[in-house]
Chains A and B, each alone.
Chain A
Amino acid sequence: ETGVTQSPTHLIKTRGQQVTLRCSSQSGHNTVSWYQQALGQGPQFIFQYYREEENGRGNFPPRFSGLQFPNYSSELNVNALELDDSALYLCASSFVGIDEQFFGPGTRLTVL
């Protein structure tokens, strides 16, 4: 059984740029959720995707957007990067209707 994978591991961008983060879900899972974890904080829910559609969204602006593909992998896109976007971005996969979520190793984004 393959776990959740994310790429890239680390990324450095400058203010105003755009970034795309990628996630492959654990085999057998059909739902992907994205979380932002600032330094010293617990993860904050960004949104969830199921059947290639957004299935719930947290308190994040529209410049945070996502996609889910037929193979259940997912992308998180962030436009017009701000300094406060610097964080660890976590992807978690699960099976719809099941509360347990399994996390990938994360992508560390630094915005300068």
Chain B
Amino acid sequence: TQLLEQSPQFLSIQEGENLTVYCNSSSVFSSLQWYRQEPGEGPVLLVTVVTGGEVKKLKRLTFQFGDARKDSSLHITAAQTGDTGLYLCAGVRKGAQKLVFGQGTRLTINP
């Protein structure tokens, strides 16, 4: 059973379009991180959200943490080919030491 469910698992869109990736759970997390991973490399941290309802922006990327701290979303505006990659959400439950990852969303932006 996957503790964090990401959707969609695969997404292929044209450059310039907008998209949203979802990360859902029935568990409460003390924080949630979004990572981006290129083939053969380690995940690179994009953002951490810790407060329910929190919204963070990183250029064309907008991250939101759900009010109940059980879910999160990543919205990309005007996608570019350089946004192509594997996007992973990962949460930390209170008192735990580990990151729990979703299965990832493989994003392809076509020129």
Contact = CB atoms under 8 A, between A and B. Distances in A.
A42 B101 contact: yes
A101 B99 contact: yes
A56 B98 contact: yes
Interface stretch (B11-19, B41-49, B56-64, B73-81): B41-49
B84 interface: no
Q: For this complex, into which size category does the number of interface residues on chain B fall? A: 20 to 34
A33 B30 contact: no
Interface string B66-103: 00000000000000000000001010100011111111
B102 A42 contact: yes
Interface residues of A, number: 26
Interface string A94-107: 00000111111110
B26 to A, nearest CB: 17
Contacts of B102: 42
A100 B48 contact: yes
14 contacts: A6-B42, A33-B98, A35-B101, A42-B6, A42-B90, A48-B98, A88-B40, A99-B92, A101-B45, A105-B40, A106-B40, A106-B41, A106-B42, A108-B40
